[in-house]
Amino acid sequence: MVDVTEDFLIKAKTYLGEEGRRVRNYFCCGLQDFSPEPNSYDVIWIQWVIGHLTDQHLAEFLRRCKVGLRPNGIIVIKDNMAQEGVIMDDVDSSVCRDQEVVRRIVRHAGLNLLAEERQENFPDEIYQVYSFAMR
């Protein structure tokens, strides 16, 4: 598990309880600086954080994730998607990208998109949430 805030990692251990034993390592750093151990993961799950990375940092992170996969492993991104283009959030300095922008970054990282799915039953007044599976 990777998070930039040590306190969140500590709380995650408590929240996960016994299931937390399945988490091999807790890393306190930004994703722009994190490199998964090569050939170590069947799944790398990236949820609701890509908006805090620049396009370049996201592509570089995805390239490093690709190296971290075992054969037939997958990377999954689950995140908010803008209707069109890129929307800046001045409150937390994040961005919300549209699907095509995310697809372009995935391709630029040398990954192939395997599947894409929209989260159902979310209110219409919030961003749509999509999951992308790639390798």
The CATH number given to whatever domain includes residue 78 is 3.40.50.150
Range of the domain at 27: 1-34
Q: Count CB atoms within 10 A of the CB of residue 95.
A: 19
Mean pLDDT across 81-96: 96
**Nearest-5° angle of CA 31, CA 59, CA 12?**
25
CA distances from residue 121 to 106, 131, 132 in whole angstroms, order as listed: 26, 14, 18
Q: Give the predicted TM-score (pTM) of the model.
A: 0.94
Number of domains, the chain: 2
Apex CA 58: angle with CA 56 and CA 59, to 5°?
65
The answer to whether residues 18 and 61 belong to one domain is no
Question: What digits encode the pLDDT tens for the residues 1-55?
Answer: 999 999 999 999 999 999 999 999 999 999 999 999 999 999 999 999 999 999 9
86 with 22, same domain: the answer is no
3-state secondary structure at position 95: strand
pLDDT value of residue 124: 85
